[in-house]
Structure 1
Amino acid sequence: MIQKPELPAIPGLDEVFVANRFVASTGGEMLDVICPADEEVIASVRMPSVEDADRAVAAARKAFDEGPWPRMTIDERADACSRLADALESRLPTMNLAWMLEAGAPIAHGEMINSGAGKLVWRNAIEKARTLPFEEVRDGPMGRTVIRREPLGVVLSILTYNGPVVLMGMKVIPALLAGCSVIIKPAPESPLTSRLVAEAIEEAGLPEGVVSMLAAGTTVTQHLVSHPGVDMVALTGGTAIAVDVVKRTAPRLARTILELGGKSPAIIADDAPLDTVLPTLVAGASGFLGQVCVSLSRILVSEKRHDEVVEAIGEAYRGLKVGLPWDPSVDRGPIAVKRGRDRAESMVNRAVEQGARVVAGGRRPAHLNRGWFYEPTLLDDVTNDMEIAQEEVFGPVTAVITYRDMDEAIAIANDSKFGLASSIYTQDADLAMDVARKIQSGGVAINAAGVSLTEPFGGFKQSGWGRECGAEGIFEFTDQKQILMSGSYLDA
């Protein structure tokens, strides 16, 4: 049996990270960190208090209102963020190991999403920022105007446990590049990786107060969201949390960016060869046990190809090895949180009661008697009005839905309150673009799964507001100002 690796050295377990450094908490409780693979306590960490949150806001406020950071040139901020990227990258192997132990992500998944995608995303943002038009002169019918992009203020970035490292490149570094000061609020399930990220921030030597990181629980998080010193909340999370955030920011009209959940469809056209479909479809539907916002949780297949497709995907799901994430032969580890395992289990049970059929999975693995494991599950005989087709599971559950023709497939795909990602598999390039234009989602992949994280990404409908990544993801953290140099509407 492969031995569980030792927990790497983690800084500041009994401290909180406020104003670019580890400091003593004003009274936060200790939290046990439980490994989801064996339910063992692997560490105890200090939780931040409301008073710690107030200290972080005060420091961020002072850094923005009085400090040098918003007044630096974009090249100066990019150089500082490049130092931060260096510090993050030097810790990636340790962060991947810590993430495996606290969230159950196999090392291979961490290397893909953190060491691969994460590094690419933040390096792209840093280099792109250097060339963006933060100031431009426009000549129009009412005269000459300078248009400036100025940093918005103090940003609260709320991260999730399924991507605490890569989200640095999607949410935090773009806000820093724009000139904002940032309070990072990782999930309380990410206390180890967040402290390693904090250590990297400390090493980067940013101006005092520009960054704080508090892996807070609900009470402290709600206090931060409601805080009058916070100018913007950038959230990755679920719909219910987003509604609460909007209610708490509404009285002061604080800005919000919301990257939320999805019920992403994958349409398989009749001409799509399964040998090219399956590799990305199976990974896109079951990777990290479905704990991915863009997970392809609805597979749409024609009545003509139904049996063939269901059999092939079912076989692929049954071939996935579920087990301890430190075993390199394992394809999928545990679900990161117990409530996630319980939610997936209960939703599958209700789907079966409503008429769905379990093709693969649908149970806790028999050979694992500890940990929050659930087998990658494929459900057939699903109709789009069922709960399992309409609500996000955020777990390893994929529903197969049949369609008669492509028009019906598109209608089914769009019959959802969500609109985050989607895929169309076909050899017909014209059909692919036609379907891509008609699907109501922020991203459509052709003969692939996922989205580009170096271009603007976000959701339609209840999948979110605003865009992350690319130039647009940096400009989300700015306000536009016009400086009228000559002319006026009074002269019109």
Structure 2
Amino acid sequence: MPDLIAERCSYIAGSWVDGDETLAVENPADESHVTDVAVAPLAEIERAVVEARRCFDAGEWADVPPAERAQVLHALVDHVVARRDALIATMVAEAGQPVSFAERAQFGAGVALARGTIDLYLSMPHEDTNPVPVDELVRAGGVLSIRRHEPVGVVSAITPYNGAIIMAFQKLIPALMAGNSVILRPSPLTPVSSLLFGAAAQAAGLPAGALSVVVEGGAGGAELLTSHPAVDMVSFTGSTAVGRRILAQAAPTVKRVALELGGKSAQIYLPDAVGRAAAGAAAVVAATAGQACVAATRMLVPADRKDEVVEAVSRAYAAITVGPPSDPAARMGPLINAAARERCERFVADAQLHGGKVAFGGGRPAGLDRGYYFEPTVLDLPDNTNPAAREEIFGPVLSILGYRDLDDAVRIANDSDYGLSGQVYGADLTAATAVARRLRTGAVNVNVGGMFSAYAPSGGYKHSGLGRERGPDGIRAFQEVKHLAIKEQS
């Protein structure tokens, strides 16, 4: 493998900042030590906020014309592309991701997302005539009504371990294109890869304070970034439990908060599409080991064909080779740490206590003594009240449930605190689309695993989040709306 990214400390307001403490980064594939990264002192994280505020208020980035901001951000992306091999090697080492996932789902998709977001921003109107009825304008004496979209200000971007680079692209590019100053705080579990954005900002010539990348080993810095009065917005991707805490921390200063949180997505198979279930099941665990908030970990099939599906999915999971990224035959890698594996073990045991059956897997794979591996697991559940059907496990555990008819399938799918994503499969496209329209979730994919595009929004209903990322809505999330009423002085 190529060398890893060389940066080992935080990038704050245009310079690299060391610290007295270090954070040890572990490779979850074999529990080896990857490297040590300097932890930014809390005072330096606060300085990142203060400098971001100064940069924004002085207009050093916010007042740069959008076309020029686009040139700088393309240069930032160019720098990331130039260090492709080191970035991929770093993602594989610190997250245990298969090389193909790091290459395509993070690097490739992230670069395409960044370029597309820049183009989308430039195509959108950010100041236009507000649609007020003509008679109202006449009564007001010929007032010109303008709607203007302006940057929010200082943005804290907090990203997860499972998609550190793609989530950073998803937050940084629209926020910076809109003219905001941003502090990026990656997960302490995978901090190294995100440091490349500091190097890219420096190489591209972003003003000091426009983008900082801070590393910490705990949560003190994140709490500061979600509560500091100088921060105007928090954009967070992670668990629902942490999202609730961020809402509470942001409340006293009434910050804007954008949250992409947990999910317990359903994949529904109409009677004419049951044969596709095994392939849909494999997609849940391959590449990510189920560590994806959009993973469709509840499979809903006709009750009278449930046994057939359980058997087919179990055969599909038995064919999945689990192993480290260094094994070219491996289709599924490790979980991020021991706690994640223990969570899977706990939910499998709890599922059985509540009447569920383990049809396949349920433990640690044989022959993998080191690394945080868990078998791809099929649970045959009696109903949707089972704990494994209610909670996000964030691991390679699929629950299969039977439904009586399509009304029952919709009821089961919607009977969840979450609503991030969903899938419907059916040869009858009209019937499948009708089911999709009834699901209370932010995205529904009909006969397709998903669509990832700079032009298509993502986000959740219910406990799966607030706001949207990507698409025009994702850009507007980083903007305030100002109304201008203008009239010539008489």
TM over 0.5: yes
In structure 2, distance between residues paired with 1:460 and 1:368? 39
Matches within 5 A, 1:337-416: 337-416=337-416
CA distance in structure 1 between the aligned counterparts of 2:202 and 2:284, rounded to whole angstroms = 35
Measured against aligned partners, the alpha-carbon deviations of 1:405-453 in whole angstroms (never above 9, x if no partner) come to 0000000000000000000010111111111110000000011223433
- State yes or no: 1:335 paired with 2:335: yes
Residue by residue, what CA displacement relative to the aligned partner does 1:392-413 show, whole Å, maximum 9, x if unpaired? 0011111001001000000000
How far apart are 1:16 and its partner, in Å?
1.8
Equivalent residue for 1:449? 449
Say if 1:457 and 1:9 are closer, same or farther in 2 by CA, change over 3 A.
closer
Secondary structure of 1:392's counterpart equals: coil
Please identify, of 391-400 and 220-229, the stretch whose mean Cα deviation from structure 2 is larger: 220-229
Could you tell me how far apart the structure 1 residues matched to 2:126 and 2:284 are? Answer: 36
Q: Does 1:212 align with 2:206?
A: no
Separation of aligned partners in 2, 1:190 and 1:289:
16
1:447 partner amino acid: N
Residue of structure 2 equivalent to 1:266: 267
CA drift of 1:386 comes to 1.2
CA offsets 1:322-358 (integer angstroms, 9 cap, x no match): 0111211111111012211111111111111211111
Kept after mapping to 1: 8 A contact 2:274/2:309: no
Counterpart-to-counterpart distance in 2, 1:96 and 1:436 = 36
| Deviation (angstroms), 1:238 | 0.7
SS of the residue aligned with 1:221?
helix
Determine whether 1:174 maps to 2:174.
yes
C-alpha separation in 2, matches of 1:22 and 1:67: 23
Q: Which moved more, 1:347-356 or 1:148-157?
A: 347-356
Q: Tell whether the 8 Å contact from 2:7 to 2:192 is kept in structure 1 after alignment.
A: no
Q: 2:103 aligns with which of 97, 111, 116?
A: 111
Q: CA deviation at 1:158?
A: 0.4
Contact 1:285–1:296 at 8 Å: present in 2 too? no
The residue that corresponds to 1:312 in the other structure is 312
Aligned to 1:299: 299
Helix, strand or coil for the counterpart of 1:69?
Answer: coil
Cα distance, 1:139 vs structure 2: 5.3
Letter in 1 for 2:13: A
Displacement of 1:10 in angstroms is 2.9
Task: Pick from 87, 92, 112 the counterpart of residue 95 of structure 1.
Answer: 87
Aligned to 1:147: 147
Q: Distance in 1 between matches of 2:292 and 2:334?
A: 14
In the alignment, which residue of structure 1 is the partner of 2:6?
A: 11
> C-alpha displacement at 1:11, in angstroms?
2.7
In the TM superposition, residue 51 of structure 1 has moved relative to its aligned partner by 0.7
Counterpart of 2:39? 47
CA distance in 2, matches of 1:131, 1:258: 26
Alignment match, 2:14:
20
Pairs aligned (count) = 479
Contact 2:22 2:36 in 1 (8 A): yes
Q: How far is the alpha carbon of 1:196 from its aligned partner?
A: 2.4
Structure 2 distance, partners of 1:396, 1:450, is 18
Q: Aligned equivalents of 2:92 and 2:151: distance in 1?
A: 35
* Larger deviation, residues 448-457 vs 156-165: 448-457
Fraction of identical pairs, as percent: 38
Contact preservation (8 Å) 1:20, 1:209: yes
- Matching residue's letter, 1:467: R
How far does residue 21 in structure 1 lie from its aligned partner after superposition? 3.0
Flag structure 2 segments of 5+ consecutive residues without an equivalent: 138-142
Native 8 Å contact 1:444 1:451 kept in 2? no
Measure the CA separation in 1 of the matches of 2:252 and 2:178.
25
1:194 matched residue in structure 2:
194
1:490 paired residue number: none
In 1, Cα distance between the equivalents of 2:220 and 2:374?
A: 30
> Retained in 2: the 8 A contact 1:378–1:399?
yes
Q: Which runs of 4+ in 1 moved over 4 A?
A: none
Q: Which moved more, 1:177-186 or 1:355-364?
A: 355-364
Task: State the partner residue of 2:439.
Answer: 439
Deviates more, 1:227-236 or 1:281-290: 281-290
CA RMSD after TM alignment: 1.6
Aligned equivalents of 2:17, 2:220: Cα separation in 1: 21
Q: Structure 1 length as normaliser, TM-score?
A: 0.94
SS at match of 2:203: helix
Other structure's SS at 1:290 match: coil
Q: CA deviation at 1:102?
A: 0.7
**For structure 1, which segment, 385-394 or 449-458, has the greater mean C-alpha deviation from structure 2 after superposition?**
449-458
Q: Which stretch of the first structure deviates more once superposed, 101-110 or 192-201? A: 192-201
Taking a change above 3 Å as real, the CA distance of residues 280 and 124 of structure 1, as seen in their structure-2 partners, is farther
Listed as ranges, the gaps of 5+ residues in structure 1 are 488-492
Distance 1:399 1:483 in 2: 53
SS at match of 1:366: coil
Q: Deviations over 1:211-239 (max 9, x none)?
A: 00013221121122111111100000111
- 1:48-96 CA-partner distances (Å, limit 9, x unpaired): 1211111101110111001321111211111111111111122232212
Contact 2:182–2:211, Cα closer than 8 Å, also in 1: yes
Query: 1:420 matched to which residue of 2?
Result: 420
Matches of 1:280 and 1:400, distance apart in 2:
12
